[in-house]
Amino acid sequence: MPELPDVEGFRRVAQRAEGRQVRGVQVRDAQVLRGVGSAEFQEALRRRYFGEPWRCGKWLVIPTAGAPNAEPGAPAVLAHFGMTGSFEWCGHGGEVHRHDRVVFDFAPGELRYHDMRKLTGLHLARQRGEVDELLAELGPDAQRIGAEEFGERLTRTRRGIKAALMDQSVLAGLGNICADELLWRARVHPNRATTELTADDLDQLHREMRAMLRDAVRAGRVPDDASWLTGHRDAPDQRCPRCSTALRRTRVGGRGTLWCPACQSD
């Protein structure tokens, strides 16, 4: 599932269209549109100029303007990538994949919304207030939250730490893979109650989260390097990259969870 680092990578792809005029929009599968029909979506964006895309957690917002130097405003495209969504930049004339659901046409190329499972998709915010409404339930972005607010928001949830980290209303951007990676780095058991975390635990979690996201955002994805827990998720012999102990799998909040019983004792 795309998480904060992946969406940051999609943001960089969408930057290829920044300042470019939409010549046309091809909706190849209207099931990925949320709250808007194909005709309205196409007409609202045709001849608009894409502004600078920005991210909030797992959401990507692309404002538009009526002229190249105009202030970006409504309408705006909001993308949530669900399990299998992505943005891809392609040259003209390239073969359109069957999972390319929406294609934005620009003079130098095409921005394609690609999604196999179609669990979420693209929203059209007709006014600025609609952007705020769609993002209203989100907590602070995980890459930007300060240490004090991070600790306060986690400890008021009274749940297991992994469930709290993945709750987008508490903290926006972390998913299953990032949460496992962070807890392994901080040596915290995924089922440990947030109310049991000390001030030092919370500071350590915040530092490790910032370092992890910095490296992952630079890569545009959660790296699967051998030094990362993520790099061992699909290994036939799953062992901790820090101590070589056999990793364990369990379910937390209905999600498959990978952890090290030696490094993350409960």
108 and 217 housed in the same domain: no
Distance CA 112, CA 104 (A): 6
- The residues, ordered by sequence, that sit 6+ positions from 130 with a Cβ below 8 Å of its Cβ are 74
DSSP SS3 for 243 = coil
Find where tokens 């987008």 sit.
168
Q: How many CB atoms lie within 10 A of CB 198?
A: 9
User: Considering its fold, how many domains does the chain have in total?
Assistant: 2
89 and 14 housed in the same domain: yes
List 28, 34, 159, 255, catalytic entry = 255
List 48, 55, 58, 101, catalytic entry = 58
**200 domain-assigned:** yes
- Domain containing residue 72: 4-135
**98 domain-assigned:** yes
Residue at a domain's end among 71, 106, 135: 135
For every one of its 266 residues, what pLDDT tens digit does the chain have, with 9 covering 90 and above? 899 999 999 999 999 999 999 999 999 999 999 999 999 999 999 999 999 999 999 999 999 999 877 777 789 999 999 999 999 999 998 899 999 999 999 999 999 999 999 999 999 999 889 999 999 999 999 999 999 999 999 999 889 999 999 999 999 999 999 999 999 999 999 999 999 999 999 999 999 999 999 999 999 989 999 999 999 999 999 999 999 999 999 998 888 999 999 999 87
List for the chain the helix, strand, coil content (%; round to 5). 35, 25, 40
What is the CATH classification number for the domain harbouring 103? 3.20.190.10
Q: Residue 222: left if φ>0, alpha if ψ -120 to 50, beta else—which one?
A: beta
18 and 63 housed in the same domain: yes
255 catalytic? Reply is yes
List 3, 8, 181, 208, catalytic entry = 3
**141 domain-assigned:** no
93 and 9 housed in the same domain: yes
Distance CA 109, CA 23 (A): 10
Q: What is the DSSP-derived secondary structure letter of residue 199?
A: H
58 catalytic? Reply is yes
Q: What are phi and psi of 6, to 5 degrees?
A: -65, -45
114 neighbors 97 (Cβ within 8 angstroms): yes
**14 domain-assigned:** yes
Q: How many CB atoms lie within 10 A of CB 199?
A: 10
